[in-house]
Structures are given as C-alpha cells and as structure tokens.
Amino acid sequence: IKVTYVAHDGTETVIEAEEGTSVMQAAVSNDVEGIVGECGGSMMCATCHCYVDEAWEARTGQRSDDEDEMLEGAASEVTERSRLSCQIKLDPSLDGLVVHLPEEQL
Ligand code: FES
C-alpha cells in the first residue's frame, strides 16, 4: 500500500507499507521525518499528528472524540483534516494515500 508523506517544506516521501500498519508505524519504520509517534500508537501523545490530503479525507473518515482530545495538545495548528496518524490503519482502499505533515510535533 503506497503512502506519500508531504513534509512541511514540500518534500515528498513515498513508501510502501503492509496492510494493517498504521500511517504512523509506516512512517517511523521508514524513517520519514516529521512523524514522531512517541507513545507507540496508543493515543497518548500527539506527536503523530498529520493532515489528510483533501482528496483522501472521505476515505480515511472522521477523527474520533478521543483523537480530538489528544490533538488539543498538538504542537502545530489543528485543522479539520488533522488526524493522529497512528489511528489510520492502512488497507487496500487507502492505496495511494497522501498525508501532509505539520511543522513541528513536539
Ligand atoms: Fe501517540 Fe499516535 S503515536 S497518539
């Protein structure tokens, strides 16, 4: 499953991830800068904050209330398209997904 990470400066990193991996895990295991994932995906930090590309918004769905709460502590601006990337699990319907990364995570 292909995922494109667009860094704050516009640099794009394209990776290939296994089904079932989260957008956060895929970034961390491929050394994509801009995603920290401090808590390892248990929704206890906000260092995996990302903005889902407009074209993909409908497919990734809405963030949960728990995500919403955690994002209050995010280091960068939270928008309608903000998600915790550890809560987006990759499946074939997300092949080609594009996410944008915030300026800072900590
Ligand atoms: Fe901590 Fe996603 S990795 S909330």
In percent, the amount of the chain with pLDDT more than 70 equals 100
Task: From the CA of 40, give the closest atom in ligand 1.
Answer: 3
Decide if the complex's ipTM is over 0.95. yes
Q: Which pLDDT does position 66 carry in this prediction?
A: 96
Count of the separate structural domains present in the chain: 1
What tokens does 75 get? 């280091």
Q: Which pLDDT does position 29 carry in this prediction?
A: 97
HEC-encoded secondary structure of 25-56: HHHHHCCCCCCCCCCCCCCCCCCCEEEECHHH
> Is the CB of residue 24 below 6 angstroms from any atom belonging to ligand 1?
yes
User: How many other C-beta atoms can be found within 10 angstroms of the C-beta atom of residue 46?
Assistant: 24
CB 47, CB 36: distance < 8 Å: yes
Distance CA 106, CA 91 (A): 28
Distance CA 30, CA 27 (A): 5
Cβ burial, residue 38 (10 Å; 0-12/13-18/19+): middle
The string of pLDDT tens digits covering residues 25-60 is: 999 999 999 999 999 999 999 999 999 999 999 999
**What is the residue range of 84's domain?**
2-100
Q: Is residue 56 part of a domain?
A: yes
Q: Which pLDDT does position 2 carry in this prediction?
A: 98
Confidence grade of residue 14 (pLDDT, cut at 50, 70, 90): very high
> Is the CB of residue 41 below 6 angstroms from any atom belonging to ligand 1?
yes
| 15, containing H or E segment | strand 12-16
What CATH number should be reported for the domain holding residue 6?
A: 3.10.20.30
Q: Is residue 106 part of a domain?
A: no
Q: Is residue 105 part of a domain?
A: no
